């Protein structure tokens, strides 16, 4: 190790995990003791900020009203010093002590703009979340270096690393969500590489209310390249998509061999998620990442 690396973590009411994440980062082989860690907090009301300060972490603050995923990340990176920037969700915990060293190793190729790892769902994740994570982050590593391959690229700022000088060329774009997808696609289209290293793993999945999950889906859709104008999508199209997702998710639940009470619980969540998707699609609601 001869060049500094920084970690930027976005936080909002993450008291359950943030202490464990800091300990894990500081225990990383080769880099942990010298790692610069910056947190960007968007108005936590639990003990998150106290835990950060008690661990001597630099905390930048941004209000909930002005919060945007890209804005928070760009702020943290602007205040960092590393030539590589590790980006982590506060509830994403690397599995290996050499996770950070492995991430850094991918940047020996000077054309590598970013790297991301395999995500492992937390044990409490529901069957639908487990299926989503498993599909997006398969067992085989991949390098994306041309536009034809990017449809299979799921670069994720839940657990990633980027090269600072390339971020300086193209900071994260202010958008509702999916700033990581936009940035990685830009990088590949401009001659850089994105590396997916499945040997490096981090625990990460979402356990959240049905409406919040629906709002997350809406935000990602509005940030996607297709459709170009999702806000103009008709109520009938929205309803058809919701029904299609409900049927798909129910199939996953029924094939998961859950107990009867858990099957009923997950089925109700699935129904609620579909309902809120239809209700909130045209309302412009926001959810937290």
Residue 144: predicted pLDDT: 96
For residue 65, count CB atoms less than 10 angstroms from its CB and return exposed for 0-12, middle for 13-18, buried for 19 or more: exposed
The 3-class SS string of 95-148 reads: CCCCHHHHHHHHHHCCCEEEEEEEEECCCCCCHHHHHHHHHHCCCCCEEECCHH
For residues 49 and 39, give the distance between their C-alpha atoms in angstroms, rounded to a whole number: 9
- In whole angstroms, what is the distance from residue 77 CA to residue 150 CA? 25
Strands 84-89 and 5-11: parallel
Non-local CB neighbours of 251 within 8 Å, separated by 6+ positions? none
Q: How far apart are CA 32 and CA 83, in angstroms?
A: 15
pLDDT for the residue numbered 115: 98
**Residue 218 confidence (pLDDT):** 66
**C-alpha span between 275 and 257 (Å, rounded):** 25
Beta carbons of 202 and 117 less than 8 angstroms apart: yes
Q: How many residues does the chain have?
A: 289
| CA 141 – CA 28 distance, rounded (Å) | 22
What are the 10-residue block averages of pLDDT along the chain, 289 residues in total?
A: 86 95 95 93 96 96 89 96 96 96 96 97 87 92 89 94 98 83 95 97 82 66 52 64 76 78 76 74 50
pLDDT at 124: 85
pLDDT at 287: 39
Return the domain boundaries, the chain. 5-203, 210-280
Q: What is the pTM of this model?
A: 0.79
Helix 260-280 crosses helix 210-223 at what angle (to 10 degrees)?
Answer: 50
Percent of the chain that is helix, strand, coil (3-state, to 5): 45, 20, 35
CATH class of the 5-203 domain in this structure:
alpha beta
Please enumerate in sequence order all residues whose Cβ is within 8 A of that of 123, keeping only pairs 6 or more positions apart, or say none: none
């Amino acid at each position: 190790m001869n060049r500094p690396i920084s970690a930027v973590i976005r936080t909002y009411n993450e008291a359950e995990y943030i202490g464990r994440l800091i300990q894990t980062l500081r225990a990383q082989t080769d880099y942990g003791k010298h790692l610069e860690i910056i947190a960007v907090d968007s108005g936590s009301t639990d003990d998150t900020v106290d835990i950060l300060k008690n661990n001597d972490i630099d905390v930048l603050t941004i209000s909930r009203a002005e919060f945007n995923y890209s804005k928070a990340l760009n702020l943290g990176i602007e205040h960092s010093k590393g030539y590589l920037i590790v980006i982590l969700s506060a509830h994403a915990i690397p599995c290996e002590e050499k996770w950070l060293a492995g991430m850094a190793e991918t940047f020996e190729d000077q054309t590598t703009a970013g790297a991301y790892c395999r995500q492992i769902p937390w044990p409490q994740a529901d069957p639908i979340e487990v299926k989503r994570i498993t599909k997006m982050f398969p067992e085989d590593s991949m390098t994306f270096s041309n536009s034809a391959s990017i449809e299979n690229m799921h670069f994720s700022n839940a657990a990633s690393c980027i090269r600072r000088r390339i971020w300086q060329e193209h900071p994260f774009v202010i958008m509702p969500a999916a700033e990581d997808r936009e940035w990685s696609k830009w990088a590949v289209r401009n001659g850089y590489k994105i590396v997916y290293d499945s040997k490096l793993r981090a625990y990460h999945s979402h356990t959240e209310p049905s409406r919040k999950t629906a709002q997350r889906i809406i935000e990602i859709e509005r940030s996607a390249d297709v459709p170009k104008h999702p806000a103009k999508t008709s109520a009938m199209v929205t309803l058809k998509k919701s029904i299609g997702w409900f049927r798909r998710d129910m199939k996953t639940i029924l094939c998961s061999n859950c107990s009867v009470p858990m099957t009923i619980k997950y089925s109700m969540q699935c129904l609620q998620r579909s309902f809120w998707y239809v209700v909130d699609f045209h309302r412009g609601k926001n959810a937290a990442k």
